[in-house]
Amino acid sequence: MKNDSKPVYLKLRDTIAAAILDGAFGEGSMLPSVRAFAAQQGANPLTVAKAYQLFQDSGLVEVKRGVGLFVASGAVNRLRKTEREHFLKTIWPDVRAQMDRAGISPAELLESA
């Protein structure tokens, strides 16, 4: 799987993004502290800080000094758009090729869902 070679900080970024998209952290919600999230994930706090920095750099979280990181307004829509583009450009071509090799039509796939 392609994700196996992905750096840990990007895997953590994906975990956080999924939690935001799944509603575990809604817009305006506070994210766990770097130390708390590192302990939860079994990761180095510096690696978690790097993942969080990606969210800060892209404006998906807001920093409230002395309080913590909060999911920014509009973050869910922006993340969904990014995830959709990533899926269509990176994941879907491989899935479609595997479907073709297995002889699975999109209609058949939808029927089985």
Over residues 26-48, the pLDDT tens digits come to 999 999 999 999 999 999 999 99
Average pLDDT value for residue range 62-82: 95
> Domain locations in the chain?
2-112
pLDDT band at residue 2 under the 50/70/90 scheme: low
CA distance 101 to 55: 38
> Helix crossing, 75-86 with 8-21: angle to 10°?
120
Residues in the chain: 113
* 3 state SS for the chain: CHHHHCCHHHHHHHHHHHHHHCCCCCCCCECCCHHHHHHHHCCCHHHHHHHHHHHHHCCCEEEECCCEEEECCCHHHHHHHHHHHHHHHHHHHHHHHHHHHHCCCHHHHHHHC
Return the ∠ at Cα 67 (arms to 33 and 50), rounded to 5°. 40
pTM equals 0.82
pLDDT on residue 1: 45
Average pLDDT value for residue range 2-11: 82
pLDDT on residue 110: 85
Q: What class has domain 2-112?
A: mainly alpha
